[in-house]
Chain A
Amino acid sequence: MSVKKSASFRSVLAMPAVKWALAALLVGFLAILPMLAFDIPGVFPGPTYTPGTLQLLAFSMLIAALALSYHLIFGVAGLLSFGHALYFAIGVYGLGIALRHFGMELLPAIVVVLVAGLIIAAGVGALSLRVTGISFAMVTLAFAQAGSVLVRKNPGQLTGGDEGLALDTTHIPDFLVGVLQTRNLYWLCLVVLIVVFLITSWFQRSRAGHVVIATRENELRIRVLGIRPYFVTLLTFVIGGVLATLVGMAYLLLQSNATEKLVSADFTLTLLVIVVLGGVGYRWGAVIGGVVYTLLDQRLTAFASSDTVGSLPDILRIPLSQPLFILGTLFILVVLFLPGGLAGVGARLSQGKPSSHPPVEMAKEDRMEVPQ
């Protein structure tokens, strides 16, 4: 009896109209959050109307949006890129440099930086996609490394090197500047997340998206149909890159500072961790992974410096005082024991049966094999 009822509940949930309605409800809730005194002690630093909490939420939404852009490349196209941080950094540093050193107005600067992201993603993608699998991973890593070196070398005092690059607010509208305006920045980040989510959804449903997914599953079959998968794959790579650039610019506005950490290989690895944690191939997985990871990282950092940890014996204190150790270990456990990540668990629970495949399976291993 109850089984039947929940089954029909599930089928209602699966209807597109209901899905959209739920999504709209969620967006609405997130939009009014700054007006509410909603608090989850231990997760948020304070009630939701406080700048600190809004800042954290906005930050986690940007990371979620960035994870979504990486989802396009890794989850949809099955490309193991280790250089995604580069396109994010182009957004952060590009906007920072355009505003500070070229004195550009905000809107033209955004357009110029997006075009720059597009050109660089297209160039690097065109070259990297000449190889597949593991070689592709290493090549994208190498290009990102070049970007990282460039930022640290600080050519012409443009990037500020290790010091970082602070946001020049001369040409930024007042409603986006300062701690008191965090609420507006929060809304801006929410809009960015929604835009990235809609573009990602739209692309996955487009003809090009279908070709890319089919190529990942069986490249040979696509070639037999007379389609050259190279350009469609490149298109996916470029869209992912440009979206990352967009998120990067919002990041600069929110954090008002660019640091070289954002270009590092470790940052790309973090994105990979987020996408896998959330569930490879699930759009919602990337979003949930981004939010959960950011909050977890924040809380673990606070936990690491707490007295509880400080009073522990070394053998417990040292590992627990390193958030990345805990996150890295968690990540390993998810890969080993929880294929499909958080979203996979959710899907399994809601379908009420184990071992369902994610809608987009992990990239086929034959892409990884170097043909003998």
Chain B
Amino acid sequence: MSTIVLLLITGLGLGALYFLIASGLSLIYGLMGVLNFAHGSFLTLGAYAGWELARRLGADNWGTFIASLVLGAIVGAVFAAATEFFLIRKLYERHIEQVLVTVGLALASVALFDGIWGVDPIYVAGPAWLGGTTEILGASVPNNRFILILAAVLILLAIVAFLKYTRFGLIIRAGVENRSMVTALGIDVRRAFTVVFAIGGAAAGFGGVLSASYYGFVSPAIGGSLLIFAFIVTVIGGLGSLAGAAIASALVAVLQQFANFYLGGTGDFVVVLLLAVVLLVRPRGLLGSAVA
């Protein structure tokens, strides 16, 4: 029982990380049709920004931790918005070239991180409580899992509220459905593109600081390795669907944890297998819009 609880909560914690990347990927794809390979770099840069701040302010207090999260989100948002503005926008409606540009950015930015911070992992500390554990039904659950889950739920709610109650949110929802009709109502939909990138980048940068806490280190490759699972999550959840991304994140990560424990470390395979099954049975994903 205690093992199951531990696997479940750890899985949800990992799922929270997946969601923080997948939510942005899915929104960006839904509105603009862009598959963003540079999304992992937003996360990595956020993680390093958070670490740089923590090492200056002293890592072991909550104020620093929260400030790191905020800084990570801001850095991610700025990086993402700049990507949209300077690279993606030039290639408006040319989807393959847009993907290629983000591929180039991913390669170049990871190499730059290598150059600045080195290829080796940098171990990070945080508030003492985060490194401890809590007993739940006999399982000693690392505390950072709770923060991850809480943070992902808050981000999900924040994005949903933004989409539902703001004018930009309205434009984004309408744009996902029919972009050209939005422009035909006299709205410059490109501004919504920048906003969507900024939101996705903020969630990823925020997730970067949290991933450093989850893994206990930062490395240039951290974003890229999470990105691949976030891709799988967005396909399983249905491209462009935020709720689908949330459900698939939890599902994939929990499944991965259980398979890793009970099926001899086969978590990654089981995830790819799940992807294959979903594609066979339901190519548009769990909550994707019809026909793929």
Contacts and interface: CB of A to CB of B under 8 A. Distances in A.
Instruction: Decide if A and B touch, CB cutoff 8 A.
Output: yes
A322 interface: yes
A372 B268 contact: no
A127 B280 contact: yes
Interface stretch (B46-54, B104-112, B143-151, B154-162): B104-112
Interface in B258-279: 265, 268-269, 271-272, 275-276, 279
Interface in A178-220: none
A339 B232 CA distance: 30
Contacts of B275: 139, 142
A328 interface: yes
A370 B239 CA distance: 9
A147 to B, nearest CB: 9
Interface stretch (B73-81, B93-101, B163-171, B185-193): B93-101
Given A324-B108, A336-B101, A363-B96, A265 B224 contact: yes
A335 B29 contact: no
A273 B103 CA distance: 8
Nearest to A132: B292
A371 interface: yes
A56 interface: no
B228 A265 contact: yes
A137 interface: yes
B276 A127 contact: yes
Interface string A292-324: 000000000000000000000000001101111
Please classify the interface of chain B as helix (H, G, I), strand (E, B), loop, or mixed, using the class held by over half of its residues.
helix
B173 to A, nearest CB: 14
B185 to A, nearest CB: 17
Given A127-B276, A325-B112, A332-B87, A372 B177 contact: yes
Q: What is the interface residue range for chain A against chain B?
A: 35 or more
A135 B228 contact: no
Contacts of A335: 91, 97, 100-101, 104
B283 interface: yes
A134 B97 contact: no
Contacts of B101: 332, 335-336
Given A273-B104, A336-B87, A363-B96, A142 B111 contact: no
Given A141-B228, A322-B112, A336-B87, A269 B107 contact: yes
A174 interface: no
B184 interface: no
Contacts of B94: 362, 365
Contacts of A27: none
Contact of A269 (B35, B103, B234): B103
B42 to A, nearest CB: 16
A130 B103 contact: no
Nearest to B233: A138
Nearest to B270: A146
Interface in A96-125: none
B289 interface: yes
B99 A137 contact: yes
B1 interface: no
Contacts of B283: 130-131, 135
B235 A80 contact: no
16 contacts: A127-B276, A134-B29, A137-B99, A139-B275, A139-B279, A142-B235, A143-B272, A145-B228, A149-B268, A318-B115, A321-B115, A328-B108, A332-B87, A332-B108, A371-B291, A372-B178
Given A363-B96, A370-B240, 8 more contacts: A135-B239, A265-B224, A265-B228, A325-B108, A329-B104, A368-B95, A370-B33, A370-B289
Interface of B: 29, 33, 35, 37, 87, 90-91, 93-97, 99-101, 103-112, 114-116, 177-178, 224, 228, 231-232, 234-235, 239-240, 265, 268-269, 271-272, 275-276, 279-280, 283, 288-289, 291-292
Interface of A: 80, 127-128, 130-135, 137-139, 141-143, 145-146, 149-150, 153, 265-266, 269, 272-273, 276, 318-319, 321-325, 327-329, 331-332, 335-336, 339, 362-363, 365, 368-372
